[in-house]
Amino acid sequence: MTDLFSFQGIMALVLGGFYGAIFGAIPGLTATLAVALFIPIAFFLDPGVALPAIIAISSVAIYAGDVGSTVARIPGTPASAAYFGQLFRLSRKEGPLYSLGISAMGSAVGGVIGALLLILTASLIVMVARQFSSFEYFWIAVLGLMAGVFASGGSALKSFASLLLGLLFATVGVDPTLGFPRFHFGSPQLMGGLNYIVAMIGLFGFSEVLNHVFKPDKDYEAELDTEGNARSFFIRPLLLVVKKKWLVLRSSLVGVMVGFLPGAGADIGSWVSSSIEKIKNKGKAEGEDDDEIILAGTSSNNAAVASAWIPALSLGLPGDTITAIVLGIFMMKGISPGPLLFDQQPGLITSLYLTFIISNIVLLPVFGYMSALMAKKLIKTPMPLLLSVVTALCIVGSYAINNDVYDVWIMAGMGFLAFFLKRGGFPLAQVVLGMVLGPILEQNFMVSAIKSRWDLTSFFDRPIAILLMVMTIIIIYLGVRYSGRMFQKTDIEELTED
Amino acid sequence: MNKIMKADRAFFYGLVVLALGAFTFYISSSFPDLPEGHPGPGLFPRIIGACLALTGLGLIIFRKKQDVEDHSLDGQWLLVLMLLGIILMYPWLHRFAGFLVALAISVFGVALLLRIIWWKSLVIAVLTTAAIFLLFKQLLQVPL
């Protein structure tokens, strides 16, 4: 395993942060797309280099999504859409460097809080997970799936349909328990199942190209210039963070809780925290609370980026699309998340924790400042040129993993499916969740059922299994009761997916 | 098809999900059971198929009144299909011309489709292919 502080490790962090800062700042390109395009490279790298690079990319790209909002009133990422109006208004009043500084410092502090909670809670969950048998893993998968249905913030029916699609894809190929081939339609390539990594490249990479081709973006122009001094970016925003420390802490904790839910992630965290702040500040004059709303949104989204790794590392449940990709890399590399990972690869776990701290304290402010200064040029990046390169990366990425041209078709098919789902307002994260949790759910159900000679009451015998079942029922109850209320006035479904 | 999709997007999507669920259920009904009549490899696909069909029905029944201003399915369908065509042709190109040439031709086609003028498209195709070759083949030593 490559050390984080080796030459390759440091280069992975620096290049990852740089790539995230540039990519996230270009309107229409998301952190998930940045990570999806990195998959083919990550696949051929040592996990000790690839995983820290993914953390650096996602932490910086989420912040960089605010660059477009600040200078041209275009949210660069769905997370940024939650407060882009406030960012632009504050930029006009106080200058773009100051508002981007608030975003960077809020993100950095939120990210560190998320990372600290990741360090504290992941090991605790692993201690509990050591007691798990196939019965508990079955209930964990059910809990993850149900949380995923209601965490999208949009229509629960559409989320459920996406989830079922993912579960269906997971059944393609030889059945893991009994060895019976399913849904292969005579194709030897499908016998081994749908390649998860290839599917990810199609779902999150190629689908973006199809979306842009279907509805081409107009050319963007920066309305504001980011000239100014470093003081506006670093010192004044940092003082504001200190002054509003309780707001930052509260929003970060909300982000951590949302990020922990399978299938939710940074976008939802950002929307929930900024919505809470908007509700709290009702009655204030327009523009008076812009800095607070920005701080709430940015600290929450980066906290969620870190906390999404808690269930991923400790239980193998993806907290967001980025950790779903990470779990795919784990699968392909033969690494099992959960107690085994903590026992067998403690060095990797420590380097992941350290990466979160370094990314948020060093990389985010440094590359954040760089992307702020380059804002005017990044906004004008020609999209057709980028899309040509993205297509090439999707082709090479899907082909190179197995050296099989057939995978290029799978990638294209998945890309078209994702494009089609997005146009209908169906979330994509739930498809991935289904693909990840499907085999866990089925295998643990069949093993438990066979073990207990099909006495299904044994699923309700063990205390932790009962606790997980009760939690599932609570999630379903709360989901049905409150789903969509928070987002009644803003159709998050469209904003997070388009 | 396009007319149906435009007329009622939610109905169309619900119908697709319903049909997929029915198809999944039908195919998985032929999967064998375990001895003593216990459910086998068909159990999960059957449950998924049934749930998909019910969800499709739910999407149709509980759909909101169609917004006449819904333009989510208005766009450049022809360009989407042409782009898909280029990617679907890639395996054949690869077989005849090898990885590098096939990739360069595909990128050139995509760039032309994105309305980049031909000589710029050519430059993009050559440079992108060269960069990918250097990164994957030379640096990461991936067999291409």
Q: ipTM > 0.85?
A: yes
Give dist(CA A131, CA A142) in Å, integer.
18
Contact list, A160 vs chain B (CB under 8 Å): 51, 55
- Binning pLDDT at 50, 70 and 90, where does residue A497 land? very low
Residue pLDDT, tens place only, A150-162: 876 678 899 999 9
A:154-183 residues touching chain B, CB 8 A cutoff: 157-158, 160-161, 164-165, 167-168, 171, 175, 177-178, 180, 182-183
CA diameter of chain A: 72
Q: Any chain B CB within 8 A of the CB of A442?
A: yes
- Binning pLDDT at 50, 70 and 90, where does residue A303 land? very high
- Across the range A12-41, mean pLDDT stands at 87
Q: Any chain B CB within 8 A of the CB of A384?
A: yes
Contact list, B90 vs chain A (CB under 8 Å): 395, 405, 408
Of A390, A473, A481, whose CA–CA distance to A201 is shortest?
A390
Q: Any chain A CB within 8 A of the CB of B48?
A: yes
Cα angle value A214/A220/A224 (rounded, 5°) = 155
Give dist(CA B22, CA B27) in Å, integer.
9
Q: Any chain A CB within 8 A of the CB of B81?
A: no
Q: What predicted TM-score, i.e. pTM, was given to this entire model? A: 0.85
Res B117: pLDDT: 93
Percent of chain A with pLDDT over 70: 93
Amino acid present at A470: V
Q: A165 in helix, strand or coil? A: helix
- In this complex, do B72 and A160 lie within 8 Å of one another by their Cβ atoms? no
Give dist(CA A475, CA A156) in Å, integer.
12
Residue pLDDT, tens place only, A337-385: 888 889 888 888 999 999 999 999 999 999 999 988 888 777 777 888 8
A:409-428 residues touching chain B, CB 8 A cutoff: 409, 411-412, 415-416, 419, 423-426
- Distances, alpha carbon A364 to alpha carbons A58, A91, A100, A328, B63, in Å: 10, 20, 12, 26, 43
Are the C-beta atoms of residues A152 and A486 closer than 8 Å to each other?
no
- Binning pLDDT at 50, 70 and 90, where does residue A490 land? very low
Are the C-beta atoms of residues A82 and A274 closer than 8 Å to each other?
yes
Res A496: pLDDT: 43
Tokens 């929003």 map to which residue? A251
Write out the two tokens for A116. 């600290």
Res A287: pLDDT: 76
Residue pLDDT, tens place only, B53-107: 999 999 998 887 654 456 666 778 899 999 999 999 998 999 889 988 999 999 9
Q: Any chain A CB within 8 A of the CB of B37?
A: no
- In this complex, do A405 and B111 lie within 8 Å of one another by their Cβ atoms? no
Q: With 60 as the cut, is the pLDDT of residue B4 above it?
A: no
Cα atoms in the Cβ-side hemisphere of radius 13 Å centred on A295: 23
Res A489: pLDDT: 42
Q: What is the mean pLDDT of chain A?
A: 86
Are the C-beta atoms of residues A301 and A267 closer than 8 Å to each other?
yes
Write out the two tokens for A217. 């973006």
Res A79: pLDDT: 79
Q: Any chain A CB within 8 A of the CB of B116?
A: yes
Cα atoms in the Cβ-side hemisphere of radius 13 Å centred on A193: 19
Domain positions in chain B? 2-61, 77-139
- Across the range A263-288, mean pLDDT stands at 79
Are the C-beta atoms of residues A62 and A98 closer than 8 Å to each other?
no
Other Cβ atoms less than 10 A from the Cβ of B59: the count is: 25
Res B63: pLDDT: 80
- In this complex, do A399 and B140 lie within 8 Å of one another by their Cβ atoms? no
Q: A181 in helix, strand or coil? A: strand
Res B71: pLDDT: 63
Res B6: pLDDT: 54
Res A223: pLDDT: 67
How far is C-alpha A484 from the geometric centre of its chain's CA atoms? 20
Of A296, A253, A262, whose CA–CA distance to A276 is shortest?
A296
Residue B81 Cα, gap to closest chain A Cα (Å): 9
Contacts of B25 (CB under 8 A, 6+ apart): B45, B46, B49, B50, B53
A:451-490 residues touching chain B, CB 8 A cutoff: 454
A:197-256 residues touching chain B, CB 8 A cutoff: 206, 209-210, 213-216
Q: B28, B46, B110, B138: best mutation site toward chain A, by most A Cβ within 10 Å?
A: B110
Q: What is the mean pLDDT of chain B?
A: 87
- Compare all CA atoms of chain B with the CA of A404 and give the residue at the minimum distance: B91
Taking the CA atoms of chain A, what radius of gyration do you get in angstroms? 22
- Distances, alpha carbon A343 to alpha carbons A115, A135, A328, in Å: 20, 22, 20
Q: A182 in helix, strand or coil? A: strand
Q: With 70 as the cut, is the pLDDT of residue B121 above it?
A: yes
Are the C-beta atoms of residues A322 and A37 closer than 8 Å to each other?
no
Are the C-beta atoms of residues A415 and A394 closer than 8 Å to each other?
yes
Contact list, B27 vs chain A (CB under 8 Å): 183
- Compare all CA atoms of chain B with the CA of A454 and give the residue at the minimum distance: B38
Which burial class, exposed, middle or buried, applies to A286 when counting CB atoms under 10 A from its CB (0-12, 13-18, 19+)?
Answer: exposed
* DSSP 8-state class, residue B138: I
Res A207: pLDDT: 92
- Across the range A216-232, mean pLDDT stands at 71
- Across the range A308-335, mean pLDDT stands at 86
Res A494: pLDDT: 44
Q: What residues pair up with A174 in beta bridges, in sequence order?
A: A181
Res B89: pLDDT: 92
- In this complex, do A399 and B114 lie within 8 Å of one another by their Cβ atoms? no
Of A449, A472, A470, A471, whose CA–CA distance to A459 is shortest?
A449
- Binning pLDDT at 50, 70 and 90, where does residue A1 land? low
Residue B45 Cα, gap to closest chain A Cα (Å): 7
Instruction: Check residues A483 and A20 and name the one with the higher pLDDT.
Output: A20
Give dist(CA A271, CA A255) in Å, integer.
10
Res A279: pLDDT: 81
Of A239, A251, A255, whose CA–CA distance to A102 is shortest?
A239
Res A492: pLDDT: 43
User: Which of A178, A399, A425 has the CB atom closest to B41's CB atom?
Assistant: A178
Q: A171, A390, A404: best mutation site toward chain B, by most B Cβ within 10 Å?
A: A171
Residue A214 Cα, gap to closest chain B Cα (Å): 5
- Binning pLDDT at 50, 70 and 90, where does residue A403 land? confident
Residue pLDDT, tens place only, A463-483: 988 999 999 999 888 888 776
Q: With 90 as the cut, is the pLDDT of residue A88 above it?
A: no
Of A354, A439, A362, A381, whose CA–CA distance to A169 is shortest?
A439
User: Which of B13, B121, B136 has the CB atom closest to A400's CB atom?
Assistant: B136
Res A24: pLDDT: 85
Residue pLDDT, tens place only, A236-257: 999 999 999 999 999 999 999 8
Which burial class, exposed, middle or buried, applies to A103 when counting CB atoms under 10 A from its CB (0-12, 13-18, 19+)?
Answer: buried
Secondary structure E strands in A237-362: none
Residue pLDDT, tens place only, A156-209: 899 999 999 999 999 999 887 778 899 988 888 888 888 888 998 999 889 989
Q: What residues pair up with A173 in beta bridges, in sequence order?
A: A182
Cα angle value A352/A201/B55 (rounded, 5°) = 105
- Distances, alpha carbon A206 to alpha carbons A33, A64, A260, A374, in Å: 9, 22, 27, 27
